[in-house]
């Protein structure tokens, strides 16, 4: 993603289908994702639970944190609010190009297998 973030324009293609294109900022905005970052114990187990919640489209490890994203901010916040207590620390973060890439690849693989 480091190289992609330095490009003037980029495009993501999967399974022969153009998923998105534009500047880095355009691609991030077009994805319309809201992203939260969470830290705490047993994040892999938390990710599995979160992936089953309405509004959560992805829960992905980013170093020692999880990025939890969805394209419906109200549903996402409602789902994660049940987990917004110690030992977890939540923070709303800007959606990154990597968050968008993972989202697009997951969505496109689901369309192919469906």
- Structural domains in the chain, CATH included, are 1-31+96-114 (no CATH), 34-94 (3.30.70.100)
- Residues 47 and 61: their CA atoms lie apart, in Å, by 8
Provide mean pLDDT across the span 63-75. 96
- Residues 99 and 26: their CA atoms lie apart, in Å, by 14
pLDDT exceeds cutoff 70 at 113: no
Provide mean pLDDT across the span 59-81. 95
Please name the residue ranges forming H helices in the chain. 2-5, 24-31, 43-50, 73-81, 97-113
Q: Three-state SS for 89?
A: strand
Confidence (pLDDT) at 110: 67
Confidence (pLDDT) at 5: 85
- Residues 106 and 29: their CA atoms lie apart, in Å, by 18
The two tokens of residue 61 are: 């490890």
């Amino acid at each position: 993603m480091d190289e992609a973030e330095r490009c003037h324009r980029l495009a993501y293609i999967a399974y022969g289908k153009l998923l998105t294109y534009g500047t880095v900022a355009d691609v991030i905005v077009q994805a319309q994702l809201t992203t939260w970052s969470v830290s705490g114990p047993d994040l892999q187990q938390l990710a599995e639970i979160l992936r089953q919640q309405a509004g959560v489209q992805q829960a992905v490890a980013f170093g020692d944190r999880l990025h939890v994203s969805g394209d419906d901010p109200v549903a996402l916040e409602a789902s994660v609010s049940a987990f917004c207590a110690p030992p977890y620390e939540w923070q709303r973060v800007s959606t990154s190009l990597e968050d968008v890439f993972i989202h697009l690849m997951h969505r496109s693989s689901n369309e192919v297998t469906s």
